[in-house]
Copies of this chain bind each other. A is one copy, B any other.
Amino acid sequence: MSEEEKLRTDARANRDRILDVAREALAADENASMNSIAKLAGVGAGTLYRHFPSREALALGVYRKEIDALVQLSGTVLLDKPPLPAFRLWCDRLIQLGRVKQGIATSLHSAMSTKDFDETLAAMVGAVGRLMQACESVGDIRQGINPADVLVMLSSLWRLPPTHEGQAQTRRVLDLIFRAVEAKSA
């Protein structure tokens, strides 16, 4: 918050507008060019790069709110449902988000493979960890499983096509993943 307040009002407006058009542009075409996004936002290319020094930074900026919401959800689902169904529901939402915004997949993956280990990813791992902890406490999943490992397996799912078969496969693989972590065999 303090960082964002420091921006001059015109800079702030530009930043917001860039984020708005980038959200649309990237949804329509996952690899819309940086130049085209700058043009759509009505700013010079340099301004785009000032705010978001790379394509990945831009994608992260765009989806930060969605990611934050997902992290929040990891707490609230636990109020409504037993841990395991809550975890499963959260995974469905994650996959849904990842599928729609393919950009996240790449960002998560490359963030995961660099050691700066972006705070966004850390929050995500934290969310998975919280859900797993809840499941562990009622004995639904085994102890000592690394949340980041589960996230890696989940990340393979949002590359599947949104076709009928793709969705069916997503469910099957998700079942397999849950079988890997569950305490008892079905």
Give me the interface of A with B, judged by CB distance under 8 Å: 109, 112-113, 145-146, 148-150, 152-153, 155-157, 159-161, 166, 169, 172-173, 176-177, 179-181, 184-185
Contacts and interface: CB of A to CB of B under 8 A. Distances in A.
A147 B172 CA distance: 11
B185 A181 contact: no
A149 to B, nearest CB: 5
Chain A interface, >50% SS class: helix
A172 B148 CA distance: 10
Nearest to A181: B176
Given A146-B172, A149-B173, 17 more contacts: A112-B160, A113-B159, A113-B160, A113-B161, A113-B166, A145-B176, A146-B169, A149-B169, A150-B176, A152-B157, A152-B160, A152-B173, A153-B153, A153-B173, A153-B177, A156-B156, A176-B177
A155 B156 contact: yes
Contacts of A153: 153, 156, 173, 176-177
